[in-house]
Structure 1
Amino acid sequence: MIEVKEKREARGEVLTAHIMIRSNADSMSIRIAKNKAKSIYENLKAGADWNEQCMLYSDDVRTKKKGGQLQWFGTGNLVPAFESAAFALRKPGDISTPIQTRFGWHIIQLIDKKGVPPLDEVRADLESKISRDTRAADKKSTTISKLKGSQNFKAFSSVRQQLVNYFDSTLLEANWTFADTNADLKQILFTTNNVSYTVNDFFNFVQEKQKKRRLTSLTVYVDQLYNQFEEKRHF
């Protein structure tokens, strides 16, 4: 049985722009950024040009030259405070009061909004995508199984099961590191073609490949990285 812990309203997608004033974690930096954002907001309410204000003041260097425009996004794609403020805007051109996220302070402008398409309109595309993904996953799984058999693959499952204990939330922020003096690093995860791959090999792989995964659980992400590591030793 699947237990539903939380339901989110399907709100479609929005296209927005923002002016971001970056701040550090200290209270002085937050206060300065907040006051600057409030001043820009007052300028906009008084008739100042959005693109001009964005170019002059936004700290988001990736978007300021195009009026602060972001990509279309839906529920669960960005930090909750930003999403809530964006979806609360009603008409194209509406702007939010300054809102705070861990990145700083933002003023958001609504460019466009679209609702959730009827299921009948997307059913065929969804079914086709699921079918393609399933076939590809089955084919990949079969190929890996054959390779393992031909390469004398042997896994040490007890070592793998302990891997998640070496990680913490820094992995989800792509900031994880490990001490190379740990004796456990010599433990063997698996052998293939008479070559042994250790915990140390896996940890080095993780340090190189880790990416931010704020919406993925730690256990799931460690499993994903391990599967990638194992596959790369066969292909």
Structure 2
Amino acid sequence: MKKIVLLFVLSLSISTFAQKKDKTLITIDGKKTTISEFKRIYEKNLDAIDNDEAKSVTKNLELFINYKLKVKEAYSLKLDTLPSYRREMETYKNQLSAPYLQDTTYIDKLVKDAYFRTKNQVKAKHILIRMPREASPKDTLTAYNKIFKLREKILKGEKFETVAAQFSEDGSAKDDAKTGRKGNGGNLGYFSAFRMVYPFEVAAYSTKIGEISMPFKTQFGYHIMQVDDFKESKGEIEAAHILIKDKSDAGKKIADDIYNKLVNKESFEDLTKQYSEDTGSKKKGGKLGKFSEGRMVKPFSDAAFSLEKINDFSKPFKTRFGWHIVKLLKKHPIKSFDEMKKGLKAKIKKSSRMQLSEKAVVNTLKNKYSIIEFEKAKKILDNKNLRAIPKDSLKNTIISINNKKIAQEEFINYIRNRRHLPVYKLFEMFKEDQILTYYKENLIYTEPEYAYTLKEYEDGLLLFELMQQKIWNKSSNDTIGLEKYFKTNLSNYKTDDLKSVKGQVINDYQAYLETKWIADLRKKSSIKVNKKQLKKLIKFYGIE
């Protein structure tokens, strides 16, 4: 019953945002409600009403007045000050405002870029110079100059792989004397969208084949890159393999014997279970799941993607893991843009690149708003014990956005538990956070649909709490009242046993309490209906 009433409450909710020229339809205790407010709710519910009687303009207006009276009562009881209500509204505001913090044009571009980079692979190598997580401007400059000099070495003729093996701070580039592992010289093989951190991906798809990129920054530090190849992706495949870990000739002999058995039509799955030493895939007949080119070590990837027909299998080949035979199970070519668009957009929204969309919104707002930084107040940023400054000394305005003034104290509160970045970066983050906060606070004035929806939820939540207090709890807890109601209306039920029809009686009792309560609200309120405008509405909809 409660859920049904709440849905009804939410569907009847209204907004106070209407056109200036709207005529007044009803006035309750001096507060006017316009025609457009009623029409918005009435028209919203028309499709859900399946009979003409329920579509009656007059009857819907009466329900509308009842609703307005309930909401008015909720505010008079200060239910909007309840901590639970405020928490719920804050959560909902954040959810509702989220789409407005996205630059849809920018997101569309990200989706198109992601599709292009899914359809096409790039092969690249890189050199990395790391930076501390809390890098100062000096740290940043030092790393940039160091990698810029490495770039000059390569441009003057030194081999990229040699410079990478000697100077790159990506450990995989160097030989490992302890394990005997050969370094990759910075070679990353082929990759596509979402495989690398976003700035690295952008650099890879922006650098021409053979060229050395300018230094660029990621969360790891500064990189330079050389692109070796660019080709259309073969999509993904599903494959299975048999692994013999012995990398010697003895291991090769076992692999060759298995291969001959396969040629003689023995079952790949059975041979996998009998011989494979990959414990992770052995019980599954060697199945490895879906993977793209470049996801596996190069010899394995080359062998798997060279298979043309489903159920084809390779000759034995060697990787650093041992000897393999791989079998092609299924091909998954790249789908069309229309087929992939929705999935790519969802993937983007879950990835770090979504922050770029929000950044685009912030940059737009920076140009739109009047933003002033107060340099005198900003001098607190030079204080080494910034977070220990007494609150009484933090009352000056540090930023203003249009007419909103933001005090130093708000900045200190923002950075109190943020100690992983330099203060100057934290100030920029704070400023952008305040710009977005101001934008969200003003959405009710700039975005009518947002305002309508927020008001619906706000009033619906209040009314739910009000109904809980006035009707639902009373009908459940007032056993004496329930029994009295049952005995008074015994003729409506086919039994004198309350327990057997208790659910039905509770529903009827709730309706009785609500009717009585509404009558009391109407008695203590002054309600005026503009009959002239009501007649126009009835004529317009053709339903009295």
Structure 1: gaps (5+ residues):
24-28, 157-235
> What is the match of residue 321 of structure 2?
103
Q: What are the within-5 Å matches in structure 2 for residues 203-222 of structure 1?
A: none
CA distance in 2, matches of 1:127, 1:43: 47
Residue aligned with 1:71, SS: strand
Larger radius of gyration: 2
From 66, 83, 90, the equivalent of 2:301 is 83
Structure 2: gaps (5+ residues):
1-202, 209-226, 360-410, 423-544
CA distance in 1, matches of 2:324, 2:418: 56
> What is the match of residue 30 of structure 1?
248
Q: What are the within-5 Å matches in structure 2 for residues 217-228 of structure 1?
A: none
CA-CA distance at 1:125 after TM superposition: 2.6
Change (3 A) 1:132 1:43: closer
Could you tell me the percent identity over the aligned residues? 33
Residue aligned with 2:286, SS: coil
Residue aligned with 2:311, SS: coil
CA distance in 2, matches of 1:148, 1:22: 55
CA-CA distance at 1:84 after TM superposition: 1.2
From 268, 287, 291, the equivalent of 1:73 is 291
Residue aligned with 2:258, SS: helix
Change (3 A) 1:124 1:136: closer
Residue aligned with 2:248, SS: helix
For 1:85-110, what per-residue CA distance to the aligned partner results, in whole angstroms no more than 9, with x for missing partners? 11111222111001111101110111
**Residue 39 (str. 1) matches residue 262 (str. 2):** no
Change (3 A) 1:76 1:151: same
Alignment TM-score, normalising by the size of structure 2: 0.25
Residue aligned with 1:87, SS: helix
- In the alignment, residue 57 of structure 1 is paired with which amino acid? Y
Structure 1 vs Structure 2 CA RMSD:
3.2
Change (3 A) 1:152 1:110: closer
> What is the match of residue 419 of structure 2?
153
**Residue 93 (str. 1) matches residue 311 (str. 2):** yes
> What is the match of residue 57 of structure 1?
275
**Residue 14 (str. 1) matches residue 237 (str. 2):** yes
For 1:27-84, what per-residue CA distance to the aligned partner results, in whole angstroms no more than 9, with x for missing partners? xx42111111011101110121212211111001111111101110012211111111
Structure showing the higher helix proportion among its residues: 2
Change (3 A) 1:146 1:92: farther
CA distance in 1, matches of 2:233, 2:419: 45
For 1:162-206, what per-residue CA distance to the aligned partner results, in whole angstroms no more than 9, with x for missing partners? xxxxxxxxxxxxxxxxxxxxxxxxxxxxxxxxxxxxxxxxxxxxx
- In the alignment, residue 259 of structure 2 is paired with which amino acid? Y
- In the alignment, residue 149 of structure 1 is paired with which amino acid? I
CA-CA distance at 1:155 after TM superposition: 5.6
> What is the match of residue 207 of structure 2?
3
Change (3 A) 1:132 1:69: closer
- In the alignment, residue 319 of structure 2 is paired with which amino acid? T
CA distance in 1, matches of 2:334, 2:290: 13
Residue aligned with 1:62, SS: helix
Alignment TM-score, normalising by the size of structure 1: 0.55
